[in-house]
Structure 1
Amino acid sequence: MLELSKESVLSALKHEADKIKHLLTNQRNHQCIAQCKAFEEVVDTQMFGFSKQVEFAQSIGLIDRQEGLDMVIELEKELNRVYNTVYQEVKESES
């Protein structure tokens, strides 16, 4: 049977969060965020999936509630930073 440690779960969740951040960074370079509503749906789906993974890890006692909350909040803050940067760049280019 697979033995899971708190460290391995946190590492796996961090890896998932990094994949979402990478997706955001790649699309930001192509200005897709500002022009593509489907991209927002993809990000929303990824965020939802990540939050469910965090909830599962919490429910089986591998991480505590605050750790999970911190991970989701950190990812949401990164998402907001990227969106704000892109929309600011679009606004400036339209001026």
Structure 2
Amino acid sequence: MNEELRHQAYAQLEADADRIVRLIKVQMDNLTMPQCPVYEEVLDTQMYGLSKEVNFAVRLGLVDAEDGRELLEKLEVEVSKVHDLYMQEEKLESKEI
């Protein structure tokens, strides 16, 4: 398999993962709280979509299965960090009021 094509496929998956993190940050900053069903629905939908992209790339031989799993795990950790940071900020703001 063309190494450049494999690199491009993985880079696109990384870009999609970064887009999900940015989307979650915007949603938390402007729209909803993490406990909101809309937040959970958006997160679940985006994560599911990316997992399907990863599975497709793995089946085509463009991405190693382990690399795909690591990408999804990294995204879950990043989303968790964003969530935790938001919750800490909310606690600080509620103490100030």
Matched, 1:19 2:23: no
The alpha-carbon deviation at position 27 of structure 1 amounts to: 1.8
For 2:33 and 2:73, locate their aligned partners in 1 and report how far apart those are by CA, in whole Å.
20
User: What corresponds to 1:59 in structure 2?
Assistant: 59
The residue that corresponds to 2:69 in the other structure is 69
Gapped regions of structure 1 (runs ≥ 5): none
Q: What is the distance in 2 between the residues matched to 1:35 and 1:81?
A: 15
Deviation at 1:31, TM superposition (A): 6.0
Q: TM-score, normalised by structure 1?
A: 0.84
Cα distance between partner residues in 2 of 1:58 and 1:33: 34
RMSD: 1.8
Unaligned runs of 5+ in 2: none
Identical positions, percent: 35
Report how many residues are paired: 92
Q: After TM superposition, what 4+ stretches of structure 1 lie above 4 angstroms from structure 2? A: none
